[in-house]
Chains A and B, each alone.
Chain A
Amino acid sequence: MSVALAQACRHCGLPAAGDFCCTGCEIVHRAIAENGLEHYYALRPEAAPAQATNASYVELDDPAFQKVHVQTSPDGLAHAALYLADLRCTACVWLVEATPRCLDGVRDVRVDLGRSRADVSWDPSTTSLAQIARHLDRIGHPAHPYRGVDRDKQRRKEDRALLIKLGVAGAAVGNLMLLAIALYAGLFNDMSAADAAFFRYASMFVAVPALSFSATPMFRTALGALRAHRLHLDLPLSIGIIAGLVWGTANVLRGVGDIYFDSLAMLVFLLLVARFIMLRHQRRASTAAELLLALTPTRARRVVNGIVEEVAIESIVTGDLVEVRAGETIPVDGVIETGTSAIDAGLLTGESRPVDVEPGKAVHAGTVNMAAPIIVRALAVGEQTRVGSLVQTIESMSSRKADIERLVDKIAARFVPIVTLGSLLTFVAWSIFASPQQGAEHAMALLIVTCPCALALATPLAVTVALGRAARRGILIKGADALERLATPGTMFVDKTGTLTVGRLEVTSWHGDIDARGLAAAVELGSAHPIARAFASCADPTGVATDIREELGRGIRGTVNGRQVVVGSPAWVQQQCRGDINRWIANVTRAAETPIAIAVDGTIVAVAGLADAVRPDAADAVRALGELGWHIEILSGDDARVAEAVGAKLGIAAHDCSGNVSPEGKRAYVELARKDRAVAMVGDGVNDAAAIAAATCGIAVSGATEIAIEAADVVLRNPSITGIATTAAGARATLATIRRSLKFSLAYNICAGALAVAGIIHPLIAALLMPASSLTVLASSLRSRAFRGDR
């Protein structure tokens, strides 16, 4: 919370002396305004100017860190991967890649924009990683160690394998189609038997190796599902592909009968394309979520013999003294050695009010030191801290999140037996009334033409369209099934502090002399205590305060314009000043706010009510969710009265607002409710993370802690919770699109199946039906209303 007296630039938001920070911004702003396009400023995402953190990054040079994250190549160069914040455009890429020109010893910097990653190589004898990080920080891209290097390698391997299969299938489709056209043309103009056989052999020569190679992902899932005694959509696909390949090969060798190689290749190719696009979208969403994770601090200040040094968090051991400055997160569990301050434990406990602490008091890792620097003696570090143990339970829970039964798999479960039975009946019927030869032909044709290509495309296409649109609106959806999980409404548990509220104390009511606000603001201006910040931001100070004396946990006094001003807890102020304020205090406490008394020249003139203000868009979001059929309940770690007061403002009944709920309690609520309906959990803190992991679908709001982001299926990046309603509505629209596409594709399958049973199917008809049905599904997915609209 820096005191910025400069104005913000009207175009870019950077601090500026006048209206604009530079001529460039002024020209751009004028161009926008002259064309009547000012709406741009309302539409663009929250102006977030590039920010340097001025951190020292010395922890990057810590040997323990280097061992894990830095590789040295034989030529003596060191290599490391960094996450860079705020990588957006060409200029960012250029600026970062120009680092070798600014810094001696840096050999190469390569940016991967999609992954927000930079691969750096440098000469360790000339420069250090910390120096490079400081440089990148100064140009507006704070650097963080890239933790997912191993996972990235694995992903890259998978991506490459899929891409190669896609390429092979694509080449096979192109060539098989050319061959097939020659054969189809031969139908109408007599082609010699020898020529036709030559083309058929050529088709077989291309199709069999190419398709058996590129369709392996489907075969593998189908086998895996069979082993788990479940039916998966890949099973009918695999049956169709294998039947087509085997039957086709047999017919080529026999020299009679139809071949369906071109349709099969098209099917495999389309399926792989859909898979590839979906994978890329998912990767993008999870990268964005991982970048949010990397932004949490990894350093701490250790005090040894009065000297403060910055070290990696991992090297702090029990018994160390750690300095924590105002605004920083406490890195260890411990007791305060020196210093008095106020601690915001909201992310750990859900408590919205700051707790005043003094030497001897216990503090926990993950809580934020608000007011003044303190020195903490570490009693527990890393996984032994309270946060650490919570994180461990959550990690073990996330890995065994129950699968939901996906819609397409439900259909596949009916599809497989019907088609198998159908082809058996076809075989029997044709064998009786014609010949076994014809029976086999038509039964095989049925298996091949009912191969549910469009059915398999429906979900990936609809989901991809939805994921892409959602990401553009700041909603990161980590997995495709998160949308299916959110589509059926049930109960949505919502955390209060930091989710429904802004997570920061504000002056929400004022009883008595309104002019005293300026005086109170003047006295509180210099203090970092959360209550002081609330007063300082509620009014403009009416002067400069002198003789300021702050008593922690009680209040503050000072002289403004020659008047004695006292601001503090009612009991403390009443001890030294006159005035009957019991009625005001009763009003304030009834609204579940914290009363603070203000006295001027020995008389109490006003009482302010402080509370964690409700987010301006919370009421809209709650109403929109209600309209979608969700039942909203508040689960708060804060006092029950406070939870009910917030509920009342949002139209949530008091019996749906639970207070004093522990992290374990939240999880129990979710697990109990999950037994009979879909449960979503929305939250931001460590205390919500277990519940987020336990819910059918977990949502983390912007500003959420690392572990909550990790546990959630959906992460909101914009500081607005309307995104929850948007996500729920989008999920429902996506599922509607999937259903519509499934109907189309089933209709096609029934047509093709009927023709096959009747014995009038031909490869040419299959080759026309297949792309037609796929195109219908594609069009239907693109027309989807999911995550569209002007909200």
Chain B
Amino acid sequence: MFALYIVLPLALLIAGLAVAAFVWTVRSGQLDDIDTPPHRILFDDEGAIKAAMRDRREVR
């Protein structure tokens, strides 16, 4: 069971890193608004809109 003495601290270290990452996301304001982003993924990106408009013009 000697492996435990290395793996367990390692696992706790990784967990600590995850917590640190979480604290960073909160502090940088990424979780302040959790209502709007789910809507925002539905927007087409700019490039796609422009391409669509160009296509339409070409068809005409």
Contact = CB atoms under 8 A, between A and B. Distances in A.
A94 B42 CA distance: 9
B27 interface: yes
Contact of B33 (A113, A164, A198): A113
B36 A114 contact: yes
A195 to B, nearest CB: 6
Contacts of B39: 89-90, 93-94, 113
A440 interface: no
Interface in A108-130: 111-115
Interface in A197-251: 198-199, 202, 205-206
Nearest to A178: B11
B8 to A, nearest CB: 6
B35 A114 contact: yes
A159 B32 contact: yes
Contacts of A159: 32
| Contact count band on B | 20 to 34
20 contacts: A89-B39, A93-B40, A94-B39, A94-B42, A112-B33, A112-B35, A114-B33, A114-B34, A156-B29, A163-B26, A164-B26, A168-B23, A171-B15, A171-B19, A171-B22, A175-B12, A192-B1, A198-B8, A199-B8, A205-B12
A114 B35 CA distance: 6
A192 B11 CA distance: 21
Contacts of B12: 175, 202, 205-206
Contacts of A160: 26-27, 31-32
Given A163-B31, A171-B18, A206-B12, A198 B43 contact: no
A160 B25 CA distance: 10
Interface of B is mostly: helix
A167 interface: yes
Contacts of A199: 8
A112 B40 CA distance: 11
A572 to B, nearest CB: 59
Interface of A: 89-90, 93-94, 97, 111-115, 156, 159-160, 163-164, 167-168, 171, 174-175, 192, 195, 198-199, 202, 205-206
Contacts of A163: 26, 31
B2 to A, nearest CB: 10
Contacts of B4: 195, 198
A93 B43 CA distance: 9
A113 B35 contact: yes
Contacts of A205: 12
Contacts of B42: 90, 94
Highest count of chain B CB atoms <10 Å: which of A94, A167, A199, A202: A167
B33 A115 contact: yes
B23 A167 contact: yes
A199 B33 CA distance: 39
Nearest to B28: A160
